[in-house]
């Protein structure tokens, strides 16, 4: 049931638009509150009057008419989920590139909720490389695609590109909205990004971590109801606005912040690429060039994950392992040595996994010996997979 849930439907120009009348009826039957925004092209396929009557709400087509202005920001913030169905190739391409030339796109760009899309296009269009690239781009923004089905198409051809049936879309809406709160009120602590260990006031030892995996996890936990604190090393990736953010530079600072928060934490995910070593006695002044070789003495940093593993009581502790060889063996060693409940392994040998990329390929090792393998996916999708595994254990 969808009682009290706020569903925003976005309709674009495709013959499948007529099916949204039925979807609207199904949503209203499940007691959802439904609002609709359409592109001008979509109104040629299904009338706003039909949809306004079924949804019991005015349908938005233009950002403004001569007398009033539709607040797209409020509409995008109102919804629990925004479902763009049917999604045409044209709107897909605009979503991928931030084009905002109608009300639906303005709502999309200002939506703070999860966005689902149900594409509808001809088989050849669906398989075109530009379409595939655009799907990958919108996936990397966190949008979810309700895969089109195989069957008869409006062109008379048979192939992929038929919009998923309203019943399938309805089920996906149910899953999304009801999954939303499966980490409700959980206190989650996440570390992300690199640490910078100073050599002198202007130089440091660092690494190439972008923080993207930790940031994707923070967003996913937040979207599923958790109270999230993200302790981030120096990253240029945008930090999630709705999480509590603590910015740090060094491993020591990250350690101190984790230690303060850990007692009041339910789930701690250590995804930061913490420098293993820091410079012993960094120089207070800029180190000057000389003709001599320069030797830096390094001392070991505190291992945050290991320390939390030693002091943990009821907390669920998740660590990461980035490996280049003997991946499974090394990941399992880390799981035991750091007393973690889960280790998420990514191998630098897998193309598309590791630092800086938008994708990742992971295997999760659980303390009880279970192992979960996942294919190469966007970091947003990986984040959802990690939470699903944690949830499965919590439920058992
Ligand atoms: N980690 C940490 N504090 C450190 C080093 C690592 O909390 N000082 C955490 C990372 O956030 C990650 C996990 O430990 O969750 C694994 O980090 P990794 O650097 O791969 O492991 P190390 O134990 O440092 O082993 P090595 O670098 O030798 O592979």
Q: Where are the domains of the chain?
A: 6-177, 187-281+294-395
Check if 342 has its Cβ closer than 6 Å to any atom of ligand 1: no
Q: Which CATH superfamily is domain 187-281+294-395 in?
A: CoaB-like (3.40.50.10300)
Q: Is 377 in the pocket of ligand 1 (CB under 6 A)?
A: no
**pLDDT at 359 > cutoff 90:** no
Q: Taking 90 as the threshold, does the pLDDT of residue 217 lie above it?
A: yes
pLDDT of residue 349: 80
Buried b (16+ CB within 10 A) or exposed e, 276-312: eebbeebeeeeeeeeeeeeeeeeeebebbbebbbeeb
Ligand 1 site, residue 272, Cβ cutoff 6 A: yes
The yes-or-no verdict on residue 128 having pLDDT over 90 is yes
Query: For residue 191, which atom of ligand 1 is closest to its CA?
Result: 11
For ligand 1, whether the C-beta of 340 sits within 6 Å is no
What's the 321 CA to ligand 1 centre distance in angstroms? 7
> For the domain bounded by 6-177, which CATH number is listed?
3.40.50.1950
CB of 108 closer than 6 A to ligand 1? no
> Is-same-fold flag (6-177; 187-281+294-395)?
yes
Separation of CA 271 and ligand 1 centre (Å): 9
Percent of the chain's residues with pLDDT above 90? 80
Atom of ligand 1 nearest to the CA of 301: 8
User: Mean pLDDT over residues 177-206, rounded?
Assistant: 93
Per-residue pLDDT band at 278 (split at 50, 70, 90): very high
Centre of ligand 1 to C-alpha 362, Å, is 16
What is the CA(332)–ligand 1 centre distance, in A?
Answer: 13
Nearest to 232 by CA among 183, 286, 196: 196
Residue whose Cα lies nearest atom 23 of ligand 1: it is: 334
Active-site position among 22, 71, 207, 339? 207
Average pLDDT value for residue range 67-88: 88
Instruction: Please give the Cα distance from 16 to 18 (Å, whole number).
Output: 5
Write down the residue that tokens 């934490």 correspond to: 265
- 144 phi and psi, to 5 degrees? -115, 140
3-state SS string for the chain = CCCCCEEEEEECCCHHHHHHHHHHHHHHHCCCEEEEEECHHHHHCCCHHHHHHHHCCCEECCCECCCCECCHHHHHHHCCEEEEEEECHHHHHHHHHCCCCCHHHHHHHHCCCEEEEEECCCHHHHHCHHHHHHHHHHHHCCCEECCCEEEECCCCCEEEEECCCHHHHHHHHHHHHHHCCCCCCCEEEEEECECCEECCCCCEECCCCCCHHHHHHHHHHHHCCCEEEEEECCCCCCCCCCCEEEECCCHHHHHHHHHHHHHHCCEEEECCECCCEEECCCCCCCCCCCCCCCCCCEEECCCHHHHHHHHCCCCEEEEEEEECCCHHHHHHHHHHHCCCCEEEEEECCCCCCCCCCCEECEEEEECCCCEEECCCEEHHHHHHHHHHHHHHHHHC
| Ligand 1 mutation pick, 320, 344, 365, max ligand atoms within 8 A of CB | 320
Contact by Cβ (8 Å): 344, 318: yes
Q: Residue 251: CB within 6 Å of ligand 1?
A: yes
Closest by CA to 39, choosing from 98, 100, 97, 96, is 100
β-bridge mates for residue 98, sequence order: none
Does residue 207 have an active-site annotation?
Answer: yes
Report which listed range, 121-125, 363-367, 392-396, is most confident.
363-367
Q: From 267, 278, 303, give the residue whose CB has the most ligand 1 atoms within 8 Å, as the site to mutate.
A: 303
pLDDT digits (tens, 9 = 90+) for 133-177: 999 999 988 899 999 998 888 888 888 899 999 999 999 999 888
Paired strand residues for 6: 33
Which long-range CB contacts under 8 A does 56-63 form with residues at least 24 apart?
56/28, 57/33, 60/35, 60/36, 60/103, 60/107, 61/37, 61/103, 62/102, 62/103, 63/102, 63/103, 63/106
Q: What is the pLDDT, as a whole number, of residue 293?
A: 93
Residue 245: per-residue pLDDT? 97
Ligand 1 neighbour 334 (Cβ under 6 A): yes
* pLDDT at residue 301 is higher than 90: yes
User: Lowest-pLDDT range, 89-98, 127-136, 155-164?
Assistant: 155-164
């Amino acid at each position: 049931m969808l009682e009290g849930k706020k569903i925003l439907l976005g309709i674009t120009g495709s013959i499948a638009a007529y099916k949204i009348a039925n979807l609207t009826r199904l949503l209203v039957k499940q007691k959802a509150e439904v609002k609709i925004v359409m592109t001008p092209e979509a109104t040629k396929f299904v009338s706003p009057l039909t949809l306004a009557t079924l949804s019991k709400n005015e349908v938005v087509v233009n950002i403004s008419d001569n007398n009033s202005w539709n607040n797209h920001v409020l509409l995008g913030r109102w919804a629990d989920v925004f479902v763009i169905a049917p999604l045409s190739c044209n709107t897909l391409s605009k979503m991928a590139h931030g084009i905002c030339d109608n009300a639906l796109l303005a709502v999309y760009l200002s939506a703070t909720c999860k966005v689902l899309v149900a594409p509808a296009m001809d088989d050849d269009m669906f398989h075109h490389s530009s379409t595939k690239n655009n799907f990958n781009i919108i996936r990397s923004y966190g949008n979810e695609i309700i895969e089109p089905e195989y069957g008869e198409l409006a062109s008379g051809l048979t192939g992929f590109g038929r919009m998923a049936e309203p019943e399938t879309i309805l089920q996906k809406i149910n899953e999304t909205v009801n999954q939303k709160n499966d980490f409700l009120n959980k206190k989650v602590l996440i570390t992300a990004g690199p640490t910078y260990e100073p050599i002198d006031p202007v130089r440091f030892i660092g690494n190439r971590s972008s923080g993207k995996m930790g940031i994707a996890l923070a967003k996913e936990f937040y979207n599923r109801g958790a109270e999230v604190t993200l302790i981030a090393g120096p990253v240029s990736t945008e930090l999630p606005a709705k999480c509590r953010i603590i910015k740090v530079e060094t491993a020591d600072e990250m350690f101190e912040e984790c230690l303060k928060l850990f007692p009041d934490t339910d789930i701690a995910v250590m995804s930061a690429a913490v420098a293993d070593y820091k410079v012993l006695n960094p120089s207070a002044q800029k180190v000057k060039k000389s003709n001599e070789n320069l030797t830096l003495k390094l001392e070991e940093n505190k291992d945050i994950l290991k320390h939390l593993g030693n002091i943990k009581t009821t907390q669920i502790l998740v660590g990461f392992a980035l490996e280049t060889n003997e991946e499974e063996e090394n990941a399992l060693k880390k799981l035991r040595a750091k007393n973690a409940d889960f280790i998420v392994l990514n191998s630098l040998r897998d193309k598309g996994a590791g630092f800086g990329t938008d994708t990742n390929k992971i295997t999760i090792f659980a303390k009880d010996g279970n192992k979960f393998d996942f294919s190469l996916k966007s970091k947003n999708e990986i984040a959802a997979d990690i939470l699903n595994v944690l949830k499965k254990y919590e439920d058992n």
